[in-house]
């Protein structure tokens, strides 16, 4: 019986309508009674009618058939959305089936549970049905991502932000796929913490590898990482004639307070942030505006 069900569950099958009640038609497939939700059917079905649909076991362990098959099927890959994680089992993923979330086994997940996908994350998966007719979602391997990847026009992407999904976690870095199907790689030094499997991120393009994979960073740009005081001074510099101000860390504290509204200590710290980010420099008694340094964003 189990082997027979394994050829039905997770497959598109044909059967015959044999009964009905207020909520369901009953469709017989190889001697098995499958429920068909009447809300899916626009025109009533007669007993003896043939019906073809996708078969599965719903969350209440009843066999069900639907005319709306999921994009994820055996041998067919699509993204599913993570619903929840369950220790000792894996993560439940919504692939679009009514009243059924499919499990990604812990065998297909990172060893460390804090790197497991969380609710709202997404995974590219296919379906597998075991000998007990249990349906599992299986994450795509590297060959699938390579096959679906596009080749980016790198100059158009340099220093741009792109939306990506983490699909493989490695000691050497995080492999991701962009929403436009470009492959990307985030080295460990370009992130503050390791992303989760399936986590959706916004990353900055800082280079390109020989195989056309984009080199990405999760670190903020220099001007995005500065303090509020530094941002205020930077904005003042940007609007100053010739991009310079007659204030430095040697200036009188009262003059700094009167002009910027902050203490000399705050001013020095803020100027230090700007200089570290290479957005400003001091010489000849002036604070000077410089351009952001993009030397770390050259091609790799």
Q: Over 60: is that where the pLDDT of 162 sits?
A: yes
Q: Please tell me whether residues 60 and 110 are part of one structural domain.
A: no
Q: Over 60: is that where the pLDDT of 295 sits?
A: no
Rounded Cα–Cα distance for residues 289 and 275 (Å): 10
Is 73 among the domain residues? no
CATH number at 273 reads 1.10.10.10
Residue with tokens 């569950």, as numbered in its chain: 9
Q: Over 60: is that where the pLDDT of 223 sits?
A: no
CATH number at 131 reads 2.40.50.140
pLDDT of res. 296: 42
Is the CB of residue 40 less than 8 Å from the CB of residue 13?
no
Rounded Cα–Cα distance for residues 72 and 127 (Å): 7
- Answer with the one of 176, 200, 217 that is the final residue of a domain: 217
Q: Please tell me whether residues 152 and 192 are part of one structural domain.
A: yes
pLDDT of res. 127: 98
Q: Which range (118-122, 149-153, 273-277) has the least confidence? A: 273-277
pLDDT of res. 1: 54
| Total of domains in the chain | 4
pLDDT of res. 91: 98
pTM of the predicted structure, to 2 decimals: 0.75
pLDDT confidence band for 294 (50 / 70 / 90): very low
Helices marked H in 113-227 — which ranges? 142-148, 154-157
Instruction: Compute the average pLDDT of residues 62-67.
Output: 97
Is 71 among the domain residues? no
Tokens of 205: 């393009």
Rounded Cα–Cα distance for residues 163 and 132 (Å): 39
pLDDT digits (tens, 9 = 90+) for 262-293: 999 999 999 988 888 888 999 999 999 986 54
pLDDT of res. 228: 83
Q: Please tell me whether residues 154 and 207 are part of one structural domain.
A: yes
Is the CB of residue 149 less than 8 Å from the CB of residue 183?
yes
pLDDT of res. 47: 95
Q: Is 167 left (phi over 0), alpha (psi -120 to 50) or beta?
A: alpha
Other CB atoms within a 10 A radius of the CB of residue 255 amount to: 12
Q: By C-alpha distance, which of 147, 151, 167 is closest to 214?
A: 151
- Answer with the one of 140, 158, 174 that is the final residue of a domain: 140
pLDDT confidence band for 133 (50 / 70 / 90): very high
Q: 11 phi and psi, to 5 degrees?
A: -125, 160
- What are the Cα distances from residue 197, in Å, to 110, 137, 176? 8, 15, 9
pLDDT of res. 293: 43
Q: Please tell me whether residues 134 and 150 are part of one structural domain.
A: no
Is the CB of residue 118 less than 8 Å from the CB of residue 82?
yes
Rounded Cα–Cα distance for residues 173 and 161 (Å): 19
Is the CB of residue 280 less than 8 Å from the CB of residue 290?
yes
Is 50 among the domain residues? yes
- Answer with the one of 217, 239, 257 that is the final residue of a domain: 217
Residues of the domain holding 59: 2-66
The strand pair at 244-245 and 280-283 is best described as unpaired
pLDDT of res. 150: 96
pLDDT of res. 244: 93
Which helix or strand (DSSP H or E) is residue 66 part of? strand 63-66
User: At CA 190, angle to CA 184 and CA 196, rounded to 5?
Assistant: 65
Kindly tell me the burial class for residue 278, based on how many C-beta atoms sit within 10 Å of its own C-beta (0-12, 13-18, 19 or more): middle
Rounded Cα–Cα distance for residues 276 and 300 (Å): 23
pLDDT of res. 220: 76
pLDDT confidence band for 80 (50 / 70 / 90): very high
pLDDT of res. 2: 58
Q: Which range (28-42, 183-197, 210-224, 242-256) has the least confidence? A: 210-224
Q: Please tell me whether residues 136 and 152 are part of one structural domain.
A: no
């Amino acid at each position: 019986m189990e082997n027979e069900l394994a050829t039905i569950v997770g497959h598109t099958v044909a059967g015959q309508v044999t009964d009905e009640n207020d909520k369901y038609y009953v469709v017989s497939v190889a001697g098995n009674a499958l429920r068909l939700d009447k809300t899916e059917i626009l025109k009533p079905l007669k007993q003896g009618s043939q019906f073809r649909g996708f078969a599965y076991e719903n969350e209440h362990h009843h066999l069900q058939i639907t005319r709306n098959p999921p994009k994820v099927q055996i041998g067919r890959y699509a993204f599913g959305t993570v619903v929840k994680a369950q220790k000792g089992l894996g993560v439940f993923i919504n692939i679009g089936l009514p009243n059924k979330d499919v499990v990604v086994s812990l065998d297909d997940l990172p060893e460390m549970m804090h790197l497991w996908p969380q609710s709202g994350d997404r995974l590219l998966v296919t379906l597998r049905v075991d000998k007990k007719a249990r349906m599992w979602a299986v994450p795509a391997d590297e060959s699938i991502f390579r096959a679906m990847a596009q080749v980016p026009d790198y100059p158009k992407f340099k220093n741009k932000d792109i939306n990506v999904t983490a699909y493989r976690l490695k000691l050497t870095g995080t492999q991701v796929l962009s929403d436009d199907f470009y492959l990307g790689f985030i080295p460990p030094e370009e992130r503050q913490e390791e992303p989760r499997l399936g986590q959706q991120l916004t990353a900055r393009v800082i280079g390109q590898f020989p195989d056309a994979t984009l080199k990405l960073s999760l670190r903020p740009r220099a001007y995005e990482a500065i303090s509020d005081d530094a941002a205020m001074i930077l904005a003042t510099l940007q609007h100053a004639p010739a991009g310079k101000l007659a204030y430095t860390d040697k200036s009188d504290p009262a003059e700094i307070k009167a002009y910027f509204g902050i203490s000399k200590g705050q001013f020095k710290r803020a100027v230090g942030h700007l200089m570290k980010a290479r957005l400003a420099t001091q010489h000849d008694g002036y604070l000077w505006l410089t351009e952001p340094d993009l030397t770390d964003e050259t091609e790799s």
